[in-house]
């Protein structure tokens, strides 16, 4: 499916079950000093390189941003593409199943402040909608609040699509 956006990008939605059988999604919190999407919670991903398949972009970016080797990911499907309204990206999300992380993530300190491993149960419980203001423009957006973490915008739309497809 095509989506409006000047720049094609892809994200990986890494999912794993913990020892108790609870499903978790892996997110990144972007650094607060970045020029774009500073401090926002997102899935690992980024801009597609010329000639690169979008699923390859998602896997490459997850490796670069959080040290997740592509060979450790079983890509099981794709979610609906979504646009970013301010930066004009077309985001193509791919769902990948991974083993429960046993070691520390290897962060790209140029982009990522931390990795968040949020349970699907907590994401569902924290679902809502808020009026936010970005660059002086008010808008309503779906949100997911887990503890001190607020997922909103394009990432929240991707989470919503994921939750709609999970039992």
Return the HEC string of 63-116: HHHHCCCHHHCEEEEECCCEECCCCCEEEEEEEEECCCCCCCCCCCCCCEEEEE
How is residue 68 written in tokens?
């997740």
Integer Cα distance of 119 and 82 in angstroms: 22
pLDDT band at 38 (very low <50, low <70, confident <90, very high): low
Q: Quick one: which of 86, 91, 109, 105 has its CA closest to 31?
A: 109
Integer Cα distance of 64 and 20 in angstroms: 29
62 pLDDT above the threshold of 60: yes
60 pLDDT above the threshold of 70: yes
pLDDT band at 87 (very low <50, low <70, confident <90, very high): confident
> Can you give the pTM of this predicted structure?
0.91
How is residue 149 written in tokens?
């973490």
C-alpha of 50 from chain center: 22
Integer Cα distance of 29 and 34 in angstroms: 11
Write down the pLDDT at residue 136. 80
Q: For the domain with range 7-120, which CATH number is right: 3.10.20.30, 3.90.79.10, 3.40.190.10, 3.40.50.2000?
A: 3.90.79.10
145 pLDDT above the threshold of 80: yes
1 pLDDT above the threshold of 60: no
């Amino acid at each position: 499916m095509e989506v409006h956006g000047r720049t094609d990008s892809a994200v990986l939605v890494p999912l794993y079950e913990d020892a108790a059988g609870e499903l978790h999604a892996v997110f990144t919190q972007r650094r607060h000093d970045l020029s774009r999407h500073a401090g926002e919670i997102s899935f690992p991903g980024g801009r597609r390189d010329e000639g690169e398949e979008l699923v390859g972009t998602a896997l490459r970016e997850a490796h670069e941003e959080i040290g997740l080797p592509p060979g450790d990911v079983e890509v099981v499907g794709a979610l609906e593409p979504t646009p970013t309204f301010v930066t004009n990206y077309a985001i193509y999300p791919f769902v990948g199943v991974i083993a429960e992380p046993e070691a520390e993530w290897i962060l790209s300190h140029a982009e990522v402040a931390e990795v968040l491993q949020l349970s699907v149960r907590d994401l569902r419980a924290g679902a809502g909608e808020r009026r936010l203001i970005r660059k002086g423009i008010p808008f309503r957006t779906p949100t997911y609040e887990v503890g001190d973490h607020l997922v909103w915008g394009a990432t929240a739309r991707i989470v919503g699509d994921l939750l709609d497809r999970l039992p």
